[in-house]
Amino acid sequence: MELYKKPAYLLSEMIKKKECSAVEITQSFFNRIGNIDEKIGAYITLNNEGALKAAKVVDEKIAKGEAVSPIAGVPIGIKDNISTKGLLTTCASKMLYNYVPPFNATVMEKLISNDSVILGKLNMDEFAMGSSTESSYFKLTRNPHNLDKVPGGSSGGSAASVAAGECAFALGTDTGGSIRMPAAYCGVVGLKPTYGTVSRYGVVAFASSFDQVGPIARNVKDIALLYNAICGYDKLEATSVKKSYPDFTKGISGNVKGLRIGIPAEYFGKGVDSEVKEKVLSMVKELEKQGAKVIEINLPSTEYALSAYYIISSAEASSNLARFDGVRYGYRAKEYDNLIDMYEKTRDEGFGDEVKRRIMLGTFVLSSGYFDAYYKKAKVVAQNITKEFNHAFEECDVIATPTTPVTAFNIGENINDPVKMCAGDICTVPINIAGLPAISVPCGTICKMPVGIQFIANKFNENILLNTARAVELINGEAEVCEISGQEGK
């Protein structure tokens, strides 16, 4: 078997046993990228020299008998809104087409201290605003399972690269489902951690109260390995939670005997494809056979979640993106008459349609006369959603839902229909609103396209999520590298 096809945990063992070198593994992934990324479009920037240098350091440590971390030498891809010192960080936007950060995000410092091998920066929806990775300024990313389908968004490059074997695992960010949706569409595992468990320092902000960095991998153990490396308190980040964390690779046996699984009717109603619903409920029945207890619950404020999310997130985006004005860094319009004209032309030329749409919506809901009518009401809805989840977790340990209402749609199908595009987030945004952890794991296919089941847990209960996801994995098997030969894409 080619090295790029092996899971991260196995690659780690092979490096330590000297069955292969970190350099050989890294080169295997670069060869894979060179062979298929022209079709997939997952990477914006490659880090060939830096990755091979880091791999060589790991090999030298192993040769000297030095102890190395569980992810040392394992190649990883990084979503392009996470700051990487000396390496382009574009947010897939013309606005930051030439931006090279002078510092690393905290998660990057953690990866580097663990001797990770950084392969490069992955494509995404511009400034993480989108559900299909079609809004990138640089390129289109395609779903490895069908090149005519979207990979989901905004971490589409991260999920597609993992599914296609272009990295062992990847980092994404999740503001309203941007890790879980592409994980579901691409048939891999994606974890959105509890808000505050992974530092956001150095991550280009979209909606600061929702954004969260998390891992994407082809199996649950790899998710746990990567989450171990990136979680933890960071004094540089105001919302970082100061607490101790367990070893998340422990206790993921997949034993669900006695586990209480909540099934909310609101996540299985209008808008959810009947076949997706059937796949998810069928998997829940399998878990019930293994000793889990299924409980019907209600989350009535779910129907207002999308509206509240887009009001609050757009309001925060309009504030966070005000800094991109052509003065300090990034793109600047070439022709302008005065300072105000430079601001206007730079932002008009530098931002794509989806980003402009959200900035305008956010500015509108924060404006005088509309703040109470929209933003304030959205915050009340957010509080109600949080209360309902808190009440639900008094009755159950995890909540099971579809990750997405449908499987991956065709490229170009929804790009000109913002309302339809946003509807794909219906199952994921409530979790970000409440700051909860959630995981998407494959639970079958429909017409050869993956279906994801989502498990939600109470804050800081990622260990329960990982164990539940492992139970699904034991039934379905771990995801393998997707073969794309013979697919053409239009």
Q: Does 132 qualify as catalytic in the annotation?
A: no
Q: Measured between alpha carbons, how far is 250 from 306 in angstroms, rounded to an integer?
A: 35
Residue labelled with tokens 């979503």:
79
Q: Residue type for 115, please?
A: D
Beta-bridged to residue 483, according to DSSP, are: none
Top-confidence residue, 369 or 136? 136
Over residues 163-189, the pLDDT tens digits come to: 999 999 999 999 999 999 999 999 999
Tokens of 165: 């074997």
Is the pLDDT confidence value at 159 over 50? yes
**Position 369 confidence tier, pLDDT thresholds 50, 70, 90:** confident
- pLDDT value of position 467: 98
Helix H, strand E, coil C: the string for the chain is CCHHHCCHHHHHHHHHCCCCCHHHHHHHHHHHHHHHHHHHCCEEEECHHHHHHHHHHHHHHHHCCCCCCCCCCCEEEEECCECECCECCCCCCHHHCCCCCCCCCHHHHHHHHCCCEEEEEECCCHHHCCCCCCCCCCCCCCECCECCECCCCCCHHHHHHHHCCCCCEEEEECCCCCCHHHHHHHCCEEEECCCCCECCCCECCCCCCCCCEEEEECCHHHHHHHHHHHECCCCCCCCCCCCCCCCCCCCCCCCCCCCEEEEEHHHCCCCCCHHHHHHHHHHHHHHHHCCCEEEEECCHHHHHHHHHHHHHHHHHHHHHHHHCCCCCCCCCCCCCCCHHHHHHHHHHHHCCHHHHHHHHHHHHHHCCCCHHHHHHHHHHHHHHHHHHHHHHCCCCCEEEEECCCCCCCECCCCCCCHHHHHHCCCCCHHHHHHCCCEEEEEEEEECCEEEEEEEEECCCCHHHHHHHHHHHHHHHCCCCCCCCCCCCCC
pLDDT for 462 equals 98
Q: What is the dihedral angle through the alpha carbons of 456, 460, 461, 467, rounded to the nearest 10 degrees?
A: 100
Q: Which amino acid is at 116?
A: S
Q: Over 90: is that where the pLDDT of 97 sits?
A: yes
Task: Residue 323: name the closest of 204, 202, 199, 172 by CA.
Answer: 204
Q: If we measure between CA atoms, which residue out of 135, 128, 98 comes closest to residue 331? A: 98
192 is an active site residue: no
Instruction: Identify whether the C-beta of residue 81 lies closer than 8 Å to the C-beta of residue 89.
Output: yes
* Measured distance CA(329)–CA(269) in Å, rounded: 46
Instruction: Report pLDDT for 490.
Output: 40
- Categorize the per-residue pLDDT at 454 as very low, low, confident or very high, splitting at 50, 70 and 90: very high
Task: Report in angstroms the alpha-carbon separations of 465 from 267, 287, 384.
Answer: 18, 13, 23
Question: Pick the catalytic residue: 136, 178, 301, 313?
Answer: 178
Please give the radius of gyration of the chain, using alpha carbons only, rounded to the nearest integer: 21
Please give the pLDDT value at position 489.
43
Average pLDDT of the residues in 254-278: 96
Average pLDDT, the chain: 96
* 280-295 per-position pLDDT tens digit: 999 999 999 999 999 9
Position 71 pLDDT exceeds 80: yes
Per the CB < 8 A criterion, the answer to whether 117 and 149 are in contact is: no
Q: Which residues contact 468 (CB under 8 A, 6 or more apart)?
A: 256, 259, 261, 287, 398, 439, 455
Would you state the pLDDT for residue 423? 84
Look up residue 380 and give its two tokens.
Answer: 């009340």
Q: CA-to-CA distance for 271 and 424, rounded, in angstroms? A: 9
> What 3-state class would DSSP assign to 40?
helix
Q: Residue 485 has what pLDDT?
A: 52
Q: Over range 104-114, report the average pLDDT.
A: 98
CB half-sphere exposure, 67, CA atoms < 13 A: 1
Average pLDDT over every residue of 294-321: 97
Predicted pLDDT at 486: 46
CB atoms closer than 10 angstroms to residue 26: 26
Once rounded to an integer, what is the mean pLDDT over residues 153-160? 98
Closest residue by Cα to residue 439 from 203, 210, 188: 188
Q: Which entry of 154, 155, 240, 301 is annotated as an active-site residue?
A: 154
Beta strands 260-264 and 293-297: pairing type? Answer: parallel
Percentage, residues of the chain above pLDDT 70? 99
Please give the helix or strand (H or E) that residue 46 lies within, else none: strand 43-46
Nearest-5° angle of CA 190, CA 196, CA 198?
55
**Which amino acid does the sequence have at 154?**
S
CA end-to-end distance (rounded Å), the chain: 30
What does pTM read for this prediction? 0.97
- The mean pLDDT value for 17-35 works out to 98
Question: Over the stretch 387-426, which tens digit does the pLDDT of each residue have?
Answer: 999 999 999 999 999 999 999 999 999 988 888 888 889 9
pLDDT over 60 (residue 156) = yes
- Within 13 Å and on the Cβ side, how many CA atoms surround 314? 26
Q: Which of 314, 309, 305, 339 is nearest to 325 (CA)?
A: 339
Looking at residue 487, its pLDDT comes to 52
- For the question of residue 448 being annotated catalytic, the response is no
Span of 70-84, 361-375, 438-452 with lowest mean pLDDT: 361-375
Mention the CATH class of domain 1-490: alpha beta
At 202-239, the pLDDT tens digits run 999 999 999 999 999 999 999 999 999 999 999 999 99
Catalytic annotation, pick one of 79, 110, 192, 221: 79
